[in-house]
Structure 1
Amino acid sequence: MTLLSVTDLCVTLDTPDGPAPILQDVSFELAAGQSLGIVGESGCGKSMTALALMGLLPAQARVAGEIEFEGENLLALPEAQLCNIRGRRLAMVFQEPMTALNPVKTIGFQVAEGLRWHLGLSRGAAEARAVKLLARVGLPQPRFSPDLYPHQLSGGQRQRVVIAMALACEPALLIADEPTTALDVTSQAAILDLLAEVTEAAGLALLLITHDLAVVWQNTARMLVMYAGRVVERGATPAVFERMAHPYTRGLFAASPGALEAALPAGRRLATIPGQVPDPRHRPAGCVFAGRCPRVQDDCLPAQPAERALDAAHGVACLHPCLEEEGVP
């Protein structure tokens, strides 16, 4: 059953220098209990997609398209009704836990707050449930008191508190926006294992946003590759990794130490993608990746390439994808 359906989502920011199209015609679906990864460099629109889903876009943002969640178009809902969904059926783990938590409130209060707001629990019942939630994410009493403040915890422990807050009201969809960015390697692995465990146990749908292809490979069944506000490749995660049809996807893989550490000879430098993501106010009319692409040809420049299906589980928006060796025209 389709839980989330995003159709032709466009987000434009009004800036002093004119409109900046951040997202352009982004479409995807996510079924109940399914996991979907969104990968790409910083500035490609991953986090803006998450903020659009949560209804947390900046005030100067203009939105078009449709976001249907559990049968309702979130973009058409008044803020009061959206507040009843946000945190209850739709929850998010932000990439920087220190800014996601209130520094002057205890962790127990912050986990219990959503329970009192959305479920109407009494203060005592909400606090008791908060203690259980903290234990569920690896912060049990007496070592971790609910009376602790965020600054008394490590980065990984704070991220566990944010996960407990997100899980408190048993949402249908959990959005994790680069949840391991500010953590050390050991904490990153622990947080990813925790997310996999709790989403599987509760049957939640997971939308995992990251710049790390290895994280997507290990934690999601389907994936999107985004570049400059557009989806350039999509499909079942094994199918995308097997072909990596878009030159950008191949560039990300070659530049990913997590994906290559087993095969990279000692002393060899990681590959890089030349150039940078274009400014949204000055994006080229044709293929947005053309200026950085090793396979660019003259027909890439006039217009943005439409997405084409390679098979039922894999699509790519490229006129000259990396498929010759597989006999795909």
Structure 2
Amino acid sequence: MRVDAFDFDLPPERIALRPARPRDAARMLVVDGGSMTDAGVGDLPSWLRPGDCLVFNDTRVIPAQLEGKRGDARIGATLHKRIDLRRWQAFIRNAKRLRVGETVDFGSGVSAVAEDRLADGSFILAFAGDEPVEVLLERAGTMPLPPYIAGKRATDADDRSDYQTMFAREDGAVAAPTAALHFTPGLLDALAKAGIATETLTLHVGAGTFLPVKADNTEDHVMHAEWGRIDADTAARLNAVRAKGGRVIAVGTTSLRLLESAAGEDNIIAPFAGDTAIFITPGYRFRAIDGLMTNFHLPKSTLFMLVSALMGLDVMQATYAHAIASEYRFYSYGDASLLLPPR
């Protein structure tokens, strides 16, 4: 398909620079089949049924944004994919001033060698010393806010907690699974009382999620890879939900992408551990999920393509037009949508 088919005009003032407080006070646009209802995140239990299951991503965002020097040159690095215990793949700002074999000093006793440069222009950074890289990042790094927020304001202390979900447990993400940012202990209690189950999986979201689609046709876009895991017990419980007539509702596109990567042609979710580069566009047949809670995405992004595959491009164009006209807040710190396709 033409990438232009997924374009729309978004006024810049619709981009949220701070989250709603409390988190579950955000608005939620419910799209049930082809009908739209303006609601709030706190209303979520009333839109689900006993026996349904929400699936969350328990990845934890690490402070993966680094600022350093190579000689007199200022070098910025955004880590986006772990290679091994001491090496990370990173996007580099001012990359023309960095050569393979040179060392970048990030301050606070943290340095890394530019070990290799890859075809996409990113570097492999090998961190010096014996301390775990996560410890080094806590000392020298900052939270890697999405470019559409970081370009409008500086990162501050609030982002350390604001850009982390209540489910965050497994270190490794450089972007938050933002749909889960809306959840609070109180909302989880209300869901449990309504008979709605919850499960977690792990997908370490990479900075590649923010890369623009540069191809003219979706068939020519190369999707970034991210590492994820679903254990056998979780897969079995999710299969049991559907076998009993319940719905599996992914919370966030990251959860959805991993669930779909783990599901076979028989619609059974299998245990999974490894990279996924699944790219979901209209025409895709969903195997693992029956609905999606997600935020509002960028024009011409792979995520807007994904929701269009789930609900239909015409439905999502109408949904986003309504959201913009109704002043919903977009992107990572913005409002939510609950997408329930016909069954």
- TM-score (structure 1 length as normaliser): 0.29
- TM-score (structure 2 length as normaliser): 0.29
